[in-house]
Amino acid sequence: MATTGTPEAAKIPGEPTKTGTSLVETATGAIQGFAPINKIHQHLCGYHFYMHDMTRQVEAHHYCAHQNEEMRQCLIYDSQDADARLIGIEYIVSENLFMTLPDSEKPLWHSHEYEVKSGLLFMPGVPGPVQRQDLEKVAKTYGKTFHFWQIDKGDGLPLGVPQIMGAFTRDGQLYPEIAHGLEEKYGVSMEKEREKREYITGPEHGIHPLANGKGKGLKLELREVDCKQPVESVARVFV
């Protein structure tokens, strides 16, 4: 049975924001600059699955900023609304940068070629020809995604440990009802986009065999460790 998209599900526990609190925050917001956040300029909608369980598939709204031409850093939310939950992070690198990663690191990164060519990944609100100019580049990139909040399980809070996420790599993996749901919700046609994106090519050197978990699942396991402590054993007086 498909675990689809974003459940209406578990509300975040807590009282609605009190007036006093929000007034303070408005004042604060007006005074401070939010430069790193203001750099976020792009919204991409796509789907991820858990790298240990492809049957759990989650709608992922990426809000991306360019560090430079070859590297993007993205905040992942569960919707495009003002009350969206911040559920994860994705880093996106060019093929060139991916090749500089140690071999032990490469499996944590997934390819984007299928997501782009299939029409699954799209930029809401942006006309096709404009989207495709950027998606041509995205198709050649690799991404590394962690989710911290398993909303598909109905968690009302970000519980547990981070999850490595994967991206779709071929037909048959994404639940058809999810594809239909996306098309209805955002008024897009994946089929039509697929045709228009046929000319788009993936990484120059093909998808690297070490990417996408080397074809295996991946999971993060928590382990306790002894603290490494500061060298000085004399207690410092904190002034």
Partner 1 sequence: MASSDETPAPMPRSGGGSTEATPGRAMGIGQKMMDKSAQMLQSLKPVRQTQQHVCTFSLYSHDFTRQIETHYYVTRLNQDFLQCPVFDSDSPNARLIGVEYIVSERIFEALPPEEQMLWHSHAFEIKSGLWTNPRVPGMIQKVELENLVKSYGKFWCTWQVDRGDPLPLGAPCLMMSPRSENFGMMKPELIKIRDAKYGFSREEIKESRAGIVEPDKTNPQADYWIRAGGGFALDVEAVDMKVRAAFP
- 107-166: which residues touch partner 1 (CB under 8 A)? 107-108, 111, 123-127, 130-131, 133-134, 137, 144, 146, 148, 157-162, 164, 166
Helices (H), 40-166: 95-100, 113-117, 128-138
Smallest Cα–Cα separation from 61: which of 132, 126, 124? 124
Residue in 34, 176, 184, 234 binding partner 1, rule: CB under 8 A: 34
Size of the site for partner 1 (CB under 8 A): 123
206-235 positions binding partner 1, by CB under 8 A: 207, 211-231, 235
Q: Is residue 31 helix, strand or coil?
A: helix
Regarding 73 and contact with partner 1 (CB under 8 A), the answer is yes
CB of 79 to partner 1, least distance (A): 7
168-207 positions binding partner 1, by CB under 8 A: 169-173, 175, 207
**Stretch near partner 1 under the rule CB under 8 A, chosen from 39-47, 178-186, 189-197, 198-206:** 39-47
CB of 189 to partner 1, least distance (A): 19
**Stretch near partner 1 under the rule CB under 8 A, chosen from 45-53, 179-187, 196-204:** 45-53
CB of 98 to partner 1, least distance (A): 9
Question: Among residues 130 and 201, whose Cβ is nearest to partner 1?
Answer: 130
CB of 191 to partner 1, least distance (A): 19
Per-residue exposure over 202-239, b if at least 16 CB sit within 10 Å of its own CB, e if not: bbeeebbebbbbeeeebeeeeeeeeeeeeeeeeeeeee
Q: State the DSSP H helix or E strand holding residue 64, giving kind and residue range, or none if neither.
A: strand 53-68
Question: Among residues 66 and 194, whose Cβ is nearest to partner 1?
Answer: 66
Residue in 7, 9, 39, 192 binding partner 1, rule: CB under 8 A: 39
Rounded Cα distance between 64 and 52, Å, is 25
Q: What DSSP character marks residue 148?
A: -
Smallest Cα–Cα separation from 202: which of 189, 213, 211, 192? 211
Question: Among residues 124 and 196, whose Cβ is nearest to partner 1?
Answer: 124
Q: CB pairs under 8 A, 24+ apart, for 94-101?
A: 94/69, 94/70, 94/137, 94/140, 94/141, 95/140, 95/141, 95/142, 95/203, 95/204, 95/205, 96/70, 97/70, 97/71, 98/141, 98/142, 98/203, 98/208, 98/211, 99/205, 99/208
Residue in 37, 153, 205, 206 binding partner 1, rule: CB under 8 A: 37
Question: Among residues 162 and 181, whose Cβ is nearest to partner 1?
Answer: 162
CB of 81 to partner 1, least distance (A): 6
